[in-house]
């Protein structure tokens, strides 16, 4: 069984395997620092990313930053630990049993290769959901990595927004979400495995996710030629 044409999203052609996994290739890559405990800082300078990308101080930040239970009109600031003073940056995929103010409840962009699904793409039946596994590779340099679908982006954003760890794994050098510097160059191929999430979907170890994603890739015959 081979991958056949499925549909086109924002100019990117998607190809689907008869069993459900699908693949696409894009040159676009954008960076998402969300989930890192040092993604955003109140001073606007110390964080990995700019506060404007978190929707702060304007409307919209509550979907990106944890709310302070004592002051619902303000983001929660980590009171102690190595990242004291930073906001708690959230991801759509998170530990359902942890407090919303626990920075470790979210998928750390610096440590976990993850994909971001645009809102309109997430709404398409069959594209999968948060916690699903994936494989990614740079067709130009041969780098590859497992990944997990962990966050949501703007409704009409293009495919290709990824975590800092994923960008590095595909050949990036110190990727900077503030200005896009350090993004690897090349054509990036992704294969997503809908309904492959664990139960619970998060937290999971990187070794466990890597082994599972590679087994799923082997089950469909390896990397499809598109």
Q: What is the CATH number of domain 4-33+109-219?
A: 2.40.40
Say how far residue 28 (Cα) sits from the centre of its chain: 14
Return d(Cα 146, Cα 190) in angstroms, integer: 10
Closest CA to 160 of 141, 195, 184: 184
CB 188 within 8 A of CB 147: no
pLDDT tops 90 at residue 86? yes
How confident is the model over 24-79, as pLDDT tens digits?
Answer: 999 999 999 999 999 999 999 999 999 999 999 988 899 999 999 999 999 999 99
pLDDT tops 80 at residue 133? yes
Return d(Cα 220, Cα 217) in angstroms, integer: 6
CB 57 within 8 A of CB 42: no
Across the range 91-116, mean pLDDT stands at 98
How confident is the model over 206-220, as pLDDT tens digits?
Answer: 999 999 999 999 999
**Domain locations in the chain?**
4-33+109-219
* Confidence band of 226 (pLDDT split at 50, 70, 90): low
Closest CA to 23 of 7, 44, 47, 11: 7
Query: Scanning the structure block, which residue is given the tokens 């086109």?
Result: 8
The whole-number pLDDT of residue 102 equals 98
Across the range 115-137, mean pLDDT stands at 98
Give backbone dihedrals phi and psi of 200, rounded to 5 degrees, phi first.
-70, 160
- Cα separations (Å) of 22 from 7, 34, 105, 106, 150? 10, 25, 29, 26, 17
Q: Convert 93-129 to b/e letters by CB count within 10 Å (16 or more is b).
A: bbeeeeeebbbebbbbbbebbbbbbbeebbeeeebbe
pLDDT tops 80 at residue 1? no
Give backbone dihedrals phi and psi of 33, rounded to 5 degrees, phi first.
-90, -5
* Six-digit token string for 22: 């699908």
Residues 6+ apart with CB under 8 A from 49: 33, 39, 40, 177, 178
How confident is the model over 140-191, as pLDDT tens digits?
Answer: 999 999 999 999 999 999 999 999 999 999 999 999 999 999 999 999 999 9
Return d(Cα 191, Cα 6) in angstroms, integer: 13
pLDDT tops 80 at residue 225? no
Across the range 77-103, mean pLDDT stands at 98
Query: Percentages helix, strand, coil for the chain, rounded to the nearest 5?
Result: 15, 25, 60
Across the range 73-97, mean pLDDT stands at 97
């Amino acid at each position: 069984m081979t991958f056949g044409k499925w549909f086109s999203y924002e100019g990117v052609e998607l190809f689907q395997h008869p069993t459900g996994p699908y693949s696409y290739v894009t040159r676009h890559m954008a960076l998402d620092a969300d989930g890192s405990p040092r993604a955003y800082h109140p001073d606007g300078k110390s964080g990995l990313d700019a506060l404007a990308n978190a929707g702060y101080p304007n409307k919209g930040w509550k979907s990106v930053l944890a709310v302070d239970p004592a002051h619902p009109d303000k983001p929660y600031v980590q009171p102690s630990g190595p990242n004291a003073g930073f906001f708690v940056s959230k991801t759509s995929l998170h530990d359902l049993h942890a407090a919303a103010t626990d920075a470790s409840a979210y998928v750390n962009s610096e440590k976990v290769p993850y994909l971001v699904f645009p809102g309109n793409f997430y709404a398409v039946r069959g594209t999968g959901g948060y916690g699903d596994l994936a494989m990614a590779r740079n067709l130009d340099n041969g780098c590859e990595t497992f990944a997990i679908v962990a966050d949501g982006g703007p409704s009409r954003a293009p495919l290709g927004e990824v975590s800092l760890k994923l960008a590095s794994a595909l050949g990036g050098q110190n990727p900077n979400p503030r200005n896009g510097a350090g993004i690897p160059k090349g054509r990036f191929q992704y294969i997503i495995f809908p309904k492959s999430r664990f139960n619970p979907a998060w937290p999971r170890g990187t070794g466990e996710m890597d082994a599972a994603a590679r087994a799923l890739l082997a089950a469909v015959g390896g990397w499809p030629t598109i």
